[in-house]
Amino acid sequence: MARNTVENNKKRYWLFLEKSEETRVSQGIDGYMDKTGKEYNYDNFVPNHRKITVGDVAVIRKENSIIGFGAIGDIIESKGEKVHRRCPHCNKTDIRQRINLIPKWKCGRCTHTFVEPIITIADAMLYCAKFESFSYFENSPNYMIIKNCSSKGIGTNSQNSMLQLNPLKLQKVIGDVELLDTTINAIRQSSGQGIGLSYEERKAVEMHSMELAENFYRNNGWDVADVSRAKKGYDLLACKNTSKRFIEVKGTTSSGASIFLTRREVYHAKENEKDSVLFVVSEIILEKIEDRWTASGGKISFHENPWIIDENFLTATKFIYKIHK
């Protein structure tokens, strides 16, 4: 069952915690199979589970790092079971398994040691929050600073995996919350260029689109050099006789209705209008083969040569304002 509508008109901001099995201290309950930037899983035993609604904005913390933020586009509900492993002395689930000691189990609450935990199974309501947009932070804030933005003032002392944040406090840390919302709206309109993809997935898409663009120009008689690492504002330099082209390449798994451009890319294209090219490859297919992401397919959905930027089609998603006294 899906919850497709916002239950109230007041948008909430959250800090969601993801933890891996390798770093979980307490082993009284199983972890959740989260997919960073795509979905976040929880159940009715988690504090604040009733407050999460479609349209809320979540900042994702993975271990002790702040990864990014996204808007919740849907929440899928299903019935399931919750397995608890408990201390036989105090019945708490804050238990840890010891590798080299006997007994191998110890309770973090009452410090009781024991051979095996008590297993209990309870009916549970399972929730999967789907992100319709997600953006990675370029300069991630410290996770303790974000925790201090708690709406109830419990801040760094909170052990909740879903912590509600105060927008005014959050504003002081990462800038205007309205700007955060504006970025999310721009991401929604972009049809997903790079959104929700891991670094490895984005890299595979980038390399595949670059290869397609390079082959396209080489097959048309151009000498092509990859200059993307130089951060000049374009990816490929193509030369033929006395002509040259500065080619900016964009790849996406989406339809490519819109793309993200850096300030340097925009400035360079404006300064070199006669020689600039925009080459967009959309609908790229991603596949994981033996723990390695590979990209294939795709189509050239946009190829403008020369590329003359129309200001009417540019949308600002972030500004830097220098404080002057």
Q: What pLDDT is recorded for position 269?
A: 95
Q: Which domain does 57 fall in, by range?
A: 2-80+124-189
Q: Is-contact 225 236, C-beta < 8 A?
A: yes
Domain end residue (candidates: 170, 189, 208)? 189
Q: Which amino acid is at 53?
A: T
Q: What pLDDT is recorded for position 202?
A: 83
319 lies in some domain: no
Does 138 lie in the same domain as 17? yes
Residues 20 and 36: their CA atoms lie apart, in Å, by 11
User: Which residues of the chain are under the pLDDT cut of 50?
Assistant: 2-9, 23-25, 190-192
Domain count, the chain: 2
Per-residue model confidence as pLDDT tens digits over 67-76: 888 889 899 9
Does 245 lie in the same domain as 184? no
Class of residue 10 by CB neighbours under 10 A (exposed 0-12, middle 13-18, buried 19+) = exposed
Does 69 lie in the same domain as 23? yes
194 lies in some domain: no
Kindly write down the DSSP assignment for every residue of 117-139, as one continuous string.
Answer: PEEEEEEEEEEEEEEEEEEE-SS
Q: Is-contact 273 307, C-beta < 8 A?
A: yes
Does 163 lie in the same domain as 72? yes
Neighbour count for residue 37 (Cβ, 10 Å): 22
Does 132 lie in the same domain as 244? no
CA distances from 256 to 184, 220, 269, 301 (A): 17, 24, 19, 7
Residues 33 and 12: their CA atoms lie apart, in Å, by 24
Q: Which amino acid is at 187?
A: I
Q: Is-contact 227 234, C-beta < 8 A?
A: yes
Does 170 lie in the same domain as 64? yes
Does 130 lie in the same domain as 24? yes
Does 150 lie in the same domain as 251? no
Q: What pLDDT is recorded for position 138?
A: 66
Residues 115 and 97: their CA atoms lie apart, in Å, by 10
CATH number at residue 229: 3.40.1350
Helix axes 177-189, 167-174, angle to 10 degrees: 80
115 lies in some domain: no
Per-residue model confidence as pLDDT tens digits over 186-230: 555 544 455 556 678 888 999 999 999 999 999 999 999 999 988
Domain end residue (candidates: 132, 156, 189)? 189
Does 281 lie in the same domain as 230? yes
pTM across the whole model = 0.53
Kindly write down the DSSP assignment for every residue of 222-265, as one continuous string.
Answer: -EEEE-GGG-SS-SEEEEETTEEEEEEEEE-SS--SS----HHH
Read off φ and ψ for residue 267, nearest 5 degrees: -60, -45
**Lookup: tokens for 252:** 């996406």
